């Protein structure tokens, strides 16, 4: 790192990236900020509304419950996917022909368009003809994800676990492969048990990739839209109306630009803040 040369001309190399991302990020962001402080009655007439929309959104019951559902969803998903992904990575073969097979099959869900993921689980969970519904009903449990909130949640969480656990597993696997063999040999000489190897060699080495995995999964689960919108559309009732779904309903469905813009900004801030918090906390643990 210290060997880098100070050279402000490097900006010329970065300029295209800077301009393109700025065009795509700053212009829309400014539009959102603009809407969030104005009132409109159509016909492109705007009047100044100050922080009115922010107050309205922050005090609305609807926003609170959508935020709570979103946090709950991210919490559940992280609690399942991180340990499961780590477990799969630890038990995966390291050498031989099965490695490629495992990697390819595991990456497959990551490359399916998100609405197709929603459709797949829709087909799985359809009453009477879906495999999932059939199996659960076969166990004597009444299951209908279009009517029961619990069933809808179960299906969505299962879908997300199916969709994204591979990402965690692949990240962890990459981290595990990069641990030098010498560490394991030293552990063998010392007669360390599997648990000790995991606790004192693998886990510390994986801290970095685990941080990335938690951050990515948190951000993406917090932004989830397409899959849920295809599968349940936010229902039954509002049981699975997460923040993003509510936001799209307000912005593109009702064209309430002011509240939608204010909500967008608050939403973005929450993601930025929580991601920063996760990152700092995990990095602090690493230093300690």
Partner 1 sequence: MKSFTRYIPVLYVTFLMIPIYWLLNMSFKTTNEILSGFTLYPHNFTLASYATILTDPSWYSGYINSIEYVAINTIISVGVALPAAYAFSRYRFLGDKHLFFWLLSNRMAPPAVFALPVFQLYSQIGLFDTPWAVALSHTLFNIPLAVWILEGFMSGVPKELDETAYVDGYSFPRFFFRIFIPTIAAGIGVACFFCFMFSWVELLLAKTLTSVAAKPIAAVMTKTASASGYQLGLLAAAGSLTLIPGAVVIYFVRNYIAKGFALGRV
Binding flags for partner 1, 140-179, as an x/- string (CB under 8 A): ----------------------x--xx--xxx-xxx-xx-
Under rule CB under 8 A, residue 83 binds partner 1: no
Under rule CB under 8 A, residue 58 binds partner 1: no
Which stretch in 39-47, 50-58, 60-68, 118-126 sits in contact with partner 1 by CB under 8 A? 118-126
Of 279, 270, 274, the C-alpha closest to 66 is 270
Q: Which of the 8 DSSP states describes residue 199?
A: I
Under rule CB under 8 A, residue 208 binds partner 1: yes
Residue 9 to residue 108: CA distance in whole angstroms: 42
Under rule CB under 8 A, residue 106 binds partner 1: yes
* Token pair for 98: 């099965």
Q: How far is the CB of 103 from partner 1 (least distance, A)?
A: 5
Of 26, 28, 36, the C-alpha closest to 260 is 36
Q: How far is the CB of 113 from partner 1 (least distance, A)?
A: 5
Q: How far is the CB of 257 from partner 1 (least distance, A)?
A: 7
Q: How far is the CB of 73 from partner 1 (least distance, A)?
A: 14
Under rule CB under 8 A, residue 32 binds partner 1: yes
Please answer whether residues 160 and 227 qualify as being in contact, where contact means their C-beta atoms are separated by less than 8 angstroms: yes
Under rule CB under 8 A, residue 82 binds partner 1: no
Residue 117 to residue 231: CA distance in whole angstroms: 9
| Residue 106 exposure: Cα atoms within 13 Å on the Cβ side | 21
């Amino acid at each position: 790192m210290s060997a880098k040369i100070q050279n402000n001309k490097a900006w010329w190399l970065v300029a295209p990236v800077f301009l393109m991302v700025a065009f795509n990020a700053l212009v829309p962001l400014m539009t959102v900020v603009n809407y969030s402080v104005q009132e409109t009655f159509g016909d492109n007439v705007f009047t100044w509304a100050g922080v009115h929309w922010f107050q309205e959104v922050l005090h609305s019951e609807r926003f609170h419950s959508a935020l709570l559902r979103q946090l709950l969803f991210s919490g559940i998903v992280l609690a399942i996917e991180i340990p499961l992904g780590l477990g799969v990575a630890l038990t995966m073969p390291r050498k031989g022909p099965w490695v490629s097979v495992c990697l390819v099959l595991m990456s497959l869900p990551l490359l399916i368009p998100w609405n197709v993921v929603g459709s797949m689980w829709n087909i799985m969970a359809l009453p009477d003809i879906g495999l999932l519904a059939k199996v659960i009903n076969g166990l004597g449990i009444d299951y209908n994800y279009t009517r029961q909130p619990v069933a809808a949640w179960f299906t969505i969480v299962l879908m997300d676990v199916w969709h994204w656990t591979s990402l965690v597993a692949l990240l962890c696997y990459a981290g595990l492969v990069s641990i030098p063999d010498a560490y394991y040999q030293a552990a063998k000489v010392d007669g360390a048990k599997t648990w000790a190897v995991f606790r004192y060699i693998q886990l510390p080495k994986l801290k970095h990739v685990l941080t990335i995995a938690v951050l990515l999964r948190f951000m993406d689960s917090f932004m989830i839209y397409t899959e849920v919108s295809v599968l349940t559309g936010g229902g039954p009732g509002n049981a699975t109306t997460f923040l993003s779904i509510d936001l799209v309903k307000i912005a593109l469905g009702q064209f309430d630009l002011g509240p939608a813009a204010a909500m967008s900004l608050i939403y973005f801030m929450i993601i930025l803040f929580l991601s920063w918090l996760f990152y700092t906390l995990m990095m602090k643990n690493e230093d300690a």
